[in-house]
Amino acid sequence: MMLKEAVSAAECVALQLASDTERYAELGRKLRSTSFSTALTIARGSSDHACNYVAYLIMARLGRVVASLPMSLVTLNKSPLVTRDTLAISISQSGQSPDVVEPIRYFRDGGATTVALVNDIDSPLAHAAEWAMPLRAGKEQSVAATKSFITSLVAGARMVAQWQNDPELQAGLEALPEALLEATRVDWSPAIDVLAPARNIMVVGRGISFPVALESALKFKETSALQAEAFSGAEIKHGPMALIEDGYPLLIFATRGPTQAGLLQLATEMRGRGAKVLLAAPADVAERDLTLPVAATPDLDPIVAIQSFYVMAAKLSAARGMDPDAPRHLSKVTKTN
């Protein structure tokens, strides 16, 4: 089921891109005409990783600083947060968890602009937000989110493209369904050979690729019971370096952009220290171990990168004798306060 749903992402993205066009344009006009002193994201798990990606796009393209809200400030501490001139963005597959719904309701009641990118458009979160934008991923059966994560990234990029009124980014989004289909066909079997017997792994990214590292590490834990930690390429030389020994596996996402050169250099250095590096990079990088698909523009590369990863992760879980559709101790909808 996980593999089937992951591969269906291109179809879901095509449906999303064909829907709600005027609603996104209207949201873009609203965002351009509103002055924000604070911008926040509100999410958990894979949705929080999607928020990391959207926040990076907003900061890099629109110059607004975006922070992730610790939801307990609202749900448990009852802190008197200032809501005026605030943009609050939530991403959720189910839209059910109280610690996501309550902050959005709090900020909306206080006059903030609230946006929910949510798969269940009839959920409490969708009703709580001023702007509820459906992911159009359809019902997701597998516990491990795949197509809903990809459609979350696309919805966030659509919002940014309309906010910035950028024709290039909008055109790049329109080309995504075909790019995602191509990404499902990329051969990442060398990663399975390395990771099927592994006990742990570091997943590394930086900048626009770091949210993909976060999501990949979560999926390794969730579907393969593989102890995985995500690090920025800028941080790994601090404490995490002490863990590196002969044969220690590292998956490095070196997507296009200004952070790529540093990640390629890191891969070379880690190989010199004895690590078993799986360097995921575009086809023009000769030293790559895994080929990263690319989108029409580098800012969309993480979307097709995670598509290739998901296909590999589903096969890795089976290779490790596990069922990716029934992870231990996990359920599809998690509700926390």
Is the domain of 122 the same as that of 11?
A: yes
Q: Are 188 and 311 in contact (CB under 8 A)?
A: yes
Is the domain of 158 the same as that of 192?
A: no
In a domain, 215, yes or no: yes
Q: Return the number of other C-beta atoms located less than 10 Å from residue 276's C-beta.
A: 17
Is the domain of 36 the same as that of 146?
A: yes
pTM of the model: 0.94
Is the domain of 115 the same as that of 195?
A: no
Residue 248 CA from chain centroid, whole number: 25
Over the chain (337 residues), the average pLDDT of each successive run of 10 is 90 98 98 96 96 98 97 96 96 94 98 97 97 94 87 98 98 98 97 96 96 97 95 82 80 98 96 95 98 98 98 95 70 57
What sign for the dihedral angle of Cα 282, 288, 292, 298?
A: negative
Q: Please, what's the b/e burial string for 192-228 (b: 16 or more CB within 10 A of its CB; e: otherwise)?
A: bebbbebeebbbbbbbbbbbbbbbbbbbbebbbebeb
In a domain, 136, yes or no: yes
Widest CA span in the chain: 55
In a domain, 272, yes or no: yes
Task: Write out the two tokens for 230.
Answer: 């995500």
Is the domain of 14 the same as that of 143?
A: yes
In a domain, 172, yes or no: no
Is the domain of 161 the same as that of 194?
A: no
Task: Please give the pLDDT value at position 237.
Answer: 73
Is the domain of 192 the same as that of 145?
A: no
Task: Please give the pLDDT value at position 336.
Answer: 65
The DSSP-derived string for 269-315 is HHHHTT-EEEEEE-TT-TT-SEEPP--SSGGGHHHHHHHHHHHHHHH
In a domain, 202, yes or no: yes
Is the domain of 61 the same as that of 202?
A: no
In a domain, 174, yes or no: no
Q: Are 77 and 99 in contact (CB under 8 A)?
A: no
Is the domain of 256 the same as that of 301?
A: yes
Q: Give the CATH number of the domain where residue 225 resides.
A: 3.40.50.10490
CA triplet 199, 201, 207: central angle to 5 degrees?
165
Give the span between the Cα atoms of 203 and 61, in whole angstroms.
26
How many domains does the chain fold into? 2
In a domain, 193, yes or no: yes
Is the domain of 153 the same as that of 194?
A: no
Q: Which of 4, 78, 237, 332 is catalytic?
A: 332
Q: Which domain holds residue 79?
A: 1-165
Is the domain of 216 the same as that of 92?
A: no
Q: Which ranges of the chain does DSSP label H, i.e. alpha helix?
A: 2-7, 9-17, 21-32, 45-62, 72-75, 98-109, 124-128, 147-164, 167-174, 176-184, 189-195, 210-224, 260-272, 301-319
In a domain, 170, yes or no: no
Task: Please give the pLDDT value at position 39.
Answer: 97
Is the domain of 6 the same as that of 68?
A: yes
Task: Please give the pLDDT value at position 328.
Answer: 59
CA–CA distance from 307 to each of 75, 250, 291 (Å)?
34, 19, 12
Task: Please give the pLDDT value at position 323.
Answer: 85
**Residue 332 annotated in active site:** yes
Q: Are 295 and 180 in contact (CB under 8 A)?
A: no
